[in-house]
Structure 1
Amino acid sequence: MADETMTDEQILEGVEHKSFVATSDRTAASLSASGVAAEDVARAAAQAAYDKKGEDVQVLDLTELSDVCDYFVLATGTNNRQVDSIVDEIEEKVAAACGEHPFSIEGREQKTWMLMDYGSVVVHVFTPEARDFYRLEKLWGDAPQLPLDLL
């Protein structure tokens, strides 16, 4: 029987695929599993938080600073009920605009700091007291803010 060993090129020939390679030199944000740019997910989440009367909505660009995610979206709700409402709005609007759903949502019980994990984007919604206590903007002080045109 002839040698049936195939080269990598032969195996991949005709196969449509996307590959993402992690490097220490990250200069661009990644795409989600469905091919949506992380920045688009972050902007949709920020707009949804703003639409639900979230305060001090910011997007921190972590593409050069973190291997964990590309963007943090930060927003403040005036109380626990509003924090929960903002998270629900973000989940609905990001799904509608980008087809993305969070892998997990943490903090539903206390509703003082809720975290939504979209993979390349992590959304943090706080009560004023929790945001002041954790001060993620200060912790990630080197991260540039993404300019937002919230309408």
Structure 2
Amino acid sequence: MDSKRLAQYCCAYADNRKAQQPVILDLRNISSLTDFFIILSGSSAPHLKAIAEEIMQKLKEDHDIRPHLSDGKGSGQWVVLDYYDVIIHVMSEDTRARYDLEGLWGDAPRIKPRKPRGMGKKASTHP
């Protein structure tokens, strides 16, 4: 799966848990760190954890993809999921405002989160 499609899946899974203000930043022409940052907000520590766990669980179940790193689930302020080409930041509203990743990466194009085509359809068993 290409990194843009992975980013779209991550946003769709986050939406399952009512993540707030999703933003996808396209860093492909700006940074060698990753292709995309996804920045999402949650309303409480349990909400942040639920969003992060939904993304991890669905990527594992549906695509056999696991994060290289996950950090911050116990902090209640900022959870980071690193899938190499896509890094997801699930943040409290206060933490998001304080660190302003959107401003820091302000020259990065934004991609509208969309549900990937074919999402939710069962795979065909025909050869």
TM-score of the two chains, using structure 1 as the length reference: 0.73
With a CA cutoff of 8 Å and minimum separation of 6, indicate the structure with the bigger relative contact order: 2
Task: Report percent identity of matched pairs.
Answer: 28
More strand by share: 2
Partner residue, 1:45: 10
Superposition pairs of residues 11-30 of structure 1, within 5 angstroms: none
Stretches of structure 2 that go unaligned for 5 or more consecutive residues are 117-127
Deviates more, 1:136-145 or 1:93-102: 93-102
Say yes or no: does 1:90 pair with 2:52: no
Q: Is the 8 A contact 1:44 1:93 kept in 2?
A: no
Aligned pairs, number? 116
8 Å Cα contact 1:59/1:72 also seen in 2: yes
1:105 is aligned to 70
- Is 1:76–2:41 an aligned residue pair? yes
Structure 1 unaligned regions, length at least 5: 1-35
Letter in structure 1 aligned against 2:32: D
Q: For 2:33, what is the secondary structure of its paired residue? A: coil
Code of the aligned partner of 1:142: D
Structural RMSD (CA) = 1.4
TM-score (norm 2): 0.86
Whether 1:63 aligns to 2:28 is yes
Report which of the two structures shows the higher radius of gyration computed on alpha carbons. 1
- Write the deviation string for residues 67-113 of structure 1: whole angstroms up to 9, x where unpaired: 01000011100011100000000101222343211011011221200
TM-fit CA distance, 1:41:
1.3
* Aligned residues of 2:9 and 2:115 also touching (Cα < 8 A): no
